Amino acid sequence: MTAAGPYRRPVAQKRTASGSRREAARGPGPLELPPDRAFVLHLAAHAELPRRVVGRVEHVTSGRVSHVTSLRGLMAFLAEVLRDGAPED
């Protein structure tokens, strides 16, 4: 991945009997990703993962934002938002 380019996940491919390529099955079904557990992480250009996490993280559904300067700070924000949004028993 380049700093300026988009992230692209490689597609697993298998060859058919004729030798042409086809996309491989990804598993039993689609992965369920609830929007209330979605976050956007925008890293600064000078971040050096995992040693130096510098950036901004936003919870998609609530709009809560935190500026982070460490992996510990990022994880604390994620845990806080997820804990606050957890349904009461």
**Higher pLDDT among residues 85 and 37, named by residue:** 37
Check residues 81 and 26 and name the one with the higher pLDDT.
81
Task: Judge whether 14 lies within some domain.
Answer: no
pTM of the complete model: 0.62
Question: What are 5-22's pLDDT values in tens digits?
Answer: 454 555 555 666 666 555
Residue 29 lies in a domain: no
Is residue 20 in a domain? no
Domain count, the chain: 1
Q: Which tokens hold the place of 83?
A: 């804990």
3-class SS of residue 85 = coil
Condensed to tens digits (0 to 9), the pLDDT of residues 21-65 reads 555 555 667 888 899 999 999 999 999 988 899 999 999 999 999
88 in a structural domain: yes
* Spatial separation of the C-alpha atoms in residues 19 and 67, rounded to whole Å: 50
Any domain includes 55: yes
Q: Domain range for residue 49?
A: 35-89
d(CA 71, CA 48): 11
Is 15 inside any structural domain?
Answer: no
